[in-house]
């Protein structure tokens, strides 16, 4: 009748994955009120960051950068288009590809977004150095996981 306690390694608080999952959602939540005035969701903001860096990417190229597939990007980009921030156009050279370009409004939005990173940095209560270290550890982790695919 005695029930075994759960083994330590299955405790929620021991899991790196949950720490990651919780932190990611918390940070996204912190962005929400900052992005709401711009009319952007957090994933839409990430797409805009990429487009502000480099114009005329295809859906595939955007997906490679953000690790998202067309199932996620296509509807998201349609919403950005409906909001008047981007244009979507089949490429003449290769009709399979759809090129995403900023509209004037889309480019102009960059100015409004310009102080978001600083604002976030303040709220995270981390030094610039701590932020960089943590960011680079996470990037290293992600790179590691993409290099070693799931061997069956």
Partner DNA sequence: GAACATTCAATTGTACACAATTGAATTTTG
Partner DNA sequence: CAAAATTCAATTGTGTACAATTGAATGTTC
CA distance 28 to 19: 14
Among 98, 102, 106, 109, binds DNA (CB under 7 A): 98
- Residue 117 touches which of DNA, its own copies, none (CB < 5 to 8 A by kind)? its own copies
CA distance 106 to 109: 5
Which is nearest to 98 in space by CA: 57, 66, 40, 42?
Answer: 57
Among 38, 39, 41, 52, binds its own copies (CB under 8 A): 52
* 138 CB-near residues (< 8 Å, 6+ apart): none
* 27 CB-near residues (< 8 Å, 6+ apart): 120, 124
> Could you tell me how many residues make up the chain?
152
Closest CB 8 distance from DNA, rounded Å: 24
Among 33, 37, 92, 93, binds its own copies (CB under 8 A): 33
Task: For the segment 58-87, give every residue that binds DNA (CB under 7 A).
Answer: 58-61, 63, 67-77, 79
Q: Which residues bind DNA (CB under 7 A)?
A: 21, 25, 28-29, 32, 41-44, 58-61, 63, 67-77, 79, 88, 93-98
């Amino acid at each position: 009748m005695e029930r075994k306690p759960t083994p330590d390694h299955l405790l929620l608080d021991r899991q790196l994955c949950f720490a990651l999952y919780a932190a990611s959602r918390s940070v996204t939540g912190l962005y929400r009120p900052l992005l709401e005035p711009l009319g952007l969701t957090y994933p839409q903001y990430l797409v805009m960051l990429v487009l502000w860096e480099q114009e005329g990417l295809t859906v595939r190229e955007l997906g490679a950068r953000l690790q998202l597939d067309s199932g996620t990007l296509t509807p998201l980009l349609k919403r950005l288009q409906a909001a008047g921030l981007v244009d979507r156009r089949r490429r003449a050279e290769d009709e399979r590809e759809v090129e995403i370009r900023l509209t004037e409004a889309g480019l102009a939005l960059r100015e409004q977004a310009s102080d978001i990173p600083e604002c976030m940095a303040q709220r995270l209560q981390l030094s610039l150095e701590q932020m960089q270290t943590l960011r680079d550890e996470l990037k290293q982790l992600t790179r590691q996981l993409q290099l070693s695919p799931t061997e069956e």
